[in-house]
Amino acid sequence: MNLPGRLILLGHPVSHSLSPRLQNAALAAARLPLRYEALDVAPDALDTILAELRAEGAAGNVTIPHKERVAMRCDALTPLAARVGAVNTFWVADARMTGDNTDVGGFSSAVTTLMSGAPADIVVGVIGAGGAAAAVLTAVESWTGCRALVYNRTRRRADAVCARFGSVARRIDDARLMARAQLVVNATSIGLHDDAFPLDPSLLDPDAAVLDLVYRAGETAWVRAARTRGHRALDGLTMLIEQAALAFERWFGRAPDRDVMWRAVR
């Protein structure tokens, strides 16, 4: 097995990320002689950094705000990454960068955990219209009988993502229509750095489940508020662990010790 020349997380900012902690724990458990590092890359420096990573034979992950731009810069995409239009996992071989998307699998795993089984025949409310929302919709279109309502502050972006996923997604302009959803997902970064809510919890159906793709120490304010109102609610930590484990498998051809990953972040 050829090890990557470097293993990194690309994002801006990245200081909050738990990815180095859990990936380094998995690397140590697997006795792989690598360190995973977070690299804060401003948007105007991304192309330069990607050229350096190609030369180094690197591999790694991508987070906000670079997922869609990295997808456009890759030499090849897996079918899943091409469908999402965003990359969160990449590797370089023979100076060619391949992009994949393990967010879809991570999200599906989190939903299965939250709802105690695979979803079917439900309406999914999606807040946001970026790369994370596209990953959510990619999962939704694979679920039996499911459809999505997409709510976003910028109508143009919502229209664009709904056009791509027209078989399952419809844009809504009135947040109150989220009351029709049995699962509501925050696919924005709202709540990452403060206690802002992506949606007023009082607008949710009383029986709706809530999944926040954002994670913070002690959970996000939105998850805590939803749970106080009686909703099943989960933050983004389960998705983080699973997408990281799937990325590890792409890089090294074997599964990491997920229990070690969980212990590293708890």
**Domain containing 92 — which CATH number?**
3.40.50.10860
Q: 190 and 205, same structural domain? A: yes
Could you report the per-residue pLDDT of 151-176, keeping only the tens digit for each?
999 999 999 999 999 999 999 999 99
Is pLDDT above 80 for 1? Answer: no
Q: How many domains does the chain have?
A: 2
Could you report the per-residue pLDDT of 105-135, keeping only the tens digit for each?
999 999 999 999 999 999 999 999 998 999 9
Contact status, residue 121 vs residue 140, Cβ threshold 8 Å: no
Q: 58 and 160, same structural domain? A: no
Query: Is 266 among the domain residues?
Result: no
* Active-site position among 67, 83, 216, 231: 67
Average pLDDT, the chain: 96
Contact status, residue 99 vs residue 79, Cβ threshold 8 Å: no
Q: 134 and 16, same structural domain? A: no
The DSSP code for 17 is -
Cα–Cα distance measured from residue 266 to residue 259, given in angstroms and rounded to the nearest whole number: 11
- Confidence (pLDDT) at 213: 97
3-class state of residue 169 by DSSP? strand
Cα–Cα distance measured from residue 98 to residue 17, given in angstroms and rounded to the nearest whole number: 23
| Whole-prediction pTM | 0.94
- Confidence (pLDDT) at 218: 87
3-class state of residue 37 by DSSP? strand
Active site residue 107: no
Q: 96 and 113, same structural domain? A: no
Cβ atoms within 10 Å of 51's Cβ, excluding its own: 12
Is pLDDT above 80 for 197? Answer: yes
Torsion of CA 151, 109, 235, 224, to 10 degrees: 90
